[in-house]
């Protein structure tokens, strides 16, 4: 009986992971459509460079599909530098594959010396379920780090059906997901939540860009 209950619980957890991955894939498909270029962003919504230049950022990058992930890395580095991050304040660590990103991102997050961590990888669908397991594992792992940690970990992982689709999103016609990851990292690193007079206020880079009043 106990084994039967464990089996039900495992299947329930796996179903939740499948649903989470479906939502993530749907979001990525919408964001990466021809109507949305991954490199586009509103510079007016970025925090002042005088703030960003004092922050440190970490990038964990997978060496698997390196022709794609290194292009994403270049995009992330360029975007960080263009938006005020100093080169000496960018720390890059390489891992063998996308699945290992969660472990290294966890280590970097625990250091608490970085404003944000960017996880860069690329998984291309093949003939076996390996693609699904890797995508589910890394998306769940990074989601967990964001839910439990105090430093944002940015999911900058391409999960595509073909190599052509990946190249299109690594500096091709759909932009560069590395750029998107860097911009997201800076924005998330400069969010702060304050509670004043029982009203929740969300300040952006301490300049009052975003406000949420319940």
Residue 188 placed within a domain:
yes
The CA angle 95-61-187, to the nearest 5 degrees, is 140
Q: Which pLDDT does position 22 carry in this prediction?
A: 52
pLDDT in tens, the chain (214 residues): 655 555 555 555 545 555 555 555 555 555 544 556 766 777 777 889 999 999 999 999 999 999 999 999 999 999 999 999 999 999 999 999 999 999 999 999 998 899 999 999 999 999 888 999 999 999 999 999 999 998 999 999 999 999 999 999 999 999 999 999 999 999 999 985 444 444 555 544 433 333 333 3
Residue 211 placed within a domain:
no
SS3 category, 89: helix
Number of domains in the chain: 1
Give the whole-angstrom CA distance, residue 175 versus residue 36.
9
Note down the domain range covering 154.
Answer: 48-204
**For position 67, which CATH number holds?**
3.40.50.960
Residue 130 appears among annotated catalytic residues: yes
Residue 37 placed within a domain:
no
Residue 191 placed within a domain:
yes
Q: Which of 41, 94, 111, 130 is catalytic?
A: 130
Residue 13 placed within a domain:
no
Question: pTM to 2 decimals?
Answer: 0.75
Residue 12 placed within a domain:
no
Residue 103 placed within a domain:
yes
Distance of alpha carbon 51 from the chain centroid: 21
Q: Which pLDDT does position 4 carry in this prediction?
A: 55
Residue 131 placed within a domain:
yes
């Amino acid at each position: 009986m106990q084994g039967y209950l464990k089996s039900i619980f495992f299947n329930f957890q796996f179903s939740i992971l499948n649903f989470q991955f479906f939502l993530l894939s749907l979001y990525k498909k919408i964001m990466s459509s021809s109507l949305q270029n991954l490199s586009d962003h509103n510079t007016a919504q970025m925090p002042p460079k005088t703030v960003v230049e004092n922050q440190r950022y970490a990038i964990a990058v997978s060496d698997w599909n390196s022709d794609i992930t290194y292009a994403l890395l270049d995009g992330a580095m360029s975007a960080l530098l263009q938006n005020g991050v100093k080169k000496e304040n960018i720390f890059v660590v390489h891992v063998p594959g996308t699945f290992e990103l969660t472990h290294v991102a966890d280590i970097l997050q625990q250091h608490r010396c970085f404003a944000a961590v960017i996880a860069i990888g690329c998984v291309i669908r093949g003939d076996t379920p390996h693609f699904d397991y890797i995508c589910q594992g890394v998306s769940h792992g990074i989601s967990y780090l964001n839910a439990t940690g105090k430093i944002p970990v940015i999911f900058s992982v391409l999960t595509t059906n073909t190599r052509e689709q990946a190249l299109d999103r690594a500096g091709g016609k759909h932009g560069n997901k590395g750029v998107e990851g860097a911009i997201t990292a800076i924005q998330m690193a400069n969010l702060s939540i304050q509670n004043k007079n029982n009203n929740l206020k969300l300040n952006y880079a301490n300049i009052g860009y975003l406000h949420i009043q319940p």
